């Protein structure tokens, strides 16, 4: 199999985390092997698409025997660079930040909140789990010292661009933005969005 030295299309890359999530549930349920057909049924994606997507990155299954679940998890973790946990900076200690810190969503999936920043004096100094909420004024320095690369923005829209600029200047390469606004970032910095209204409007178009 020929592996391209270029990145596959982003749409292909964007499906890999879905495969990984599904495989991890299967592993947790005790499945040792699976097939593109079984994955297709669980994911609502065609088995041909799944095989084609995976073929961009190597040969993971055997004709007739399917995929070894643990092996495919390991490979996908390696491809997505989540073999180890990434420390993530959280900016904004509101309800959303609270949910992210206190729930198990991130655990065992490649990420942990490693620092929390807020500008509200009433929040600074509070302890959330093992972390103490820090002053956003110290954010850039902490990011540089620790070499953090990922950040989650859970702050109001009107502050998002300015804080994003400071994150990028301090060395952040990926921003997950919960603020309901677009962020402009320089080349080499990726931004992903979580705005429930955008997702809802993508459904109401069809209803």
**How many residues belong to the site for a second copy (CB under 8 A)?**
63
Report the Cα 115 to chain-centroid distance in Å. 17
Distance CA 52, CA 50 (A): 5
Q: If binding is defined by CB under 8 A, does position 207 make contact with a second copy?
A: yes
Candidates 22, 78, 24, 29; CA nearest to 47 is 22
Q: How far is the CB of 201 from a second copy (least distance, A)?
A: 4
What secondary structure letter does DSSP report for 59?
-
Site string for a second copy, 140-179 (x = CB under 8 A): ---------xx-x----x---------------xx-x---
Give the one residue of 38, 86, 140, 159 binding a second copy; rule: CB under 8 A.
86
Q: If binding is defined by CB under 8 A, does position 120 make contact with a second copy?
A: no
Give the one residue of 103, 121, 137, 148 binding a second copy; rule: CB under 8 A.
103
Give the one residue of 30, 44, 121, 147 binding a second copy; rule: CB under 8 A.
44
**Tokens 């990420």 appear where?**
111
Inter-helix orientation angle 10-28/69-79, to 10°: 140
Query: What 3-state class would DSSP assign to 9?
Result: coil
- In the sheet that holds 174-177, the strands lie side by side as 134-135, 111-118, 86-91, 150-153, 174-177, 190-193
Give the one residue of 48, 70, 99, 132 binding a second copy; rule: CB under 8 A.
99
Considering only 62-70, 121-129, 134-142, 180-188, which stretch makes contact with a second copy by CB under 8 A? 180-188
How many beta carbons lie within 10 A of that of residue 70, not counting itself?
Answer: 13
Query: What 3-state class would DSSP assign to 53?
Result: helix
Cβ proximity to a second copy: between 64 and 103 the closer is 103
**Footprint of a second copy on this chain (CB under 8 A)?**
7, 10, 13-14, 16-18, 20-22, 25, 41-44, 79-82, 86, 88, 94-96, 98-100, 102-103, 105-106, 109-111, 149-150, 152, 157, 173-174, 176, 180-182, 184-185, 190, 192-207
């Amino acid at each position: 199999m020929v592996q391209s030295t270029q990145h596959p299309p982003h749409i292909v890359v964007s499906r890999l985390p879905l495969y990984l999530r599904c495989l991890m549930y299967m592993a947790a349920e005790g499945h040792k092997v699976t097939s593109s057909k079984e994955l297709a049924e669980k994911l609502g994606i065609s088995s041909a698409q799944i095989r084609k997507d995976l073929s961009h990155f190597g040969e993971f299954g055997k004709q007739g025997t399917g995929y070894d679940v643990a092996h495919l998890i390991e490979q996908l973790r390696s491809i997505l660079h989540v073999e180890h946990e990434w420390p993530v900076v959280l900016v904004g200690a509101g309800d959303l930040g609270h949910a992210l810190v206190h729930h198990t969503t991130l655990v065992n999936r490649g990420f942990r909140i490693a620092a929390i920043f807020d500008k509200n004096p009433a929040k600074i100094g509070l302890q959330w789990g093992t972390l103490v909420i820090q002053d956003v004024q110290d954010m850039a320095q902490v990011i540089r010292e620790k070499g953090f690369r990922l950040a989650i923005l859970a702050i109001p829209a009107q502050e998002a661009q300015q804080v994003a600029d400071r994150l990028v200047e301090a060395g952040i390469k990926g921003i997950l933005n919960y603020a309901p606004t677009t962020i402009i970032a320089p080349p080499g910095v990726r931004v992903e969005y979580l705005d429930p209204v955008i997702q809802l409007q993508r459904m109401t178009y069809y209803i």
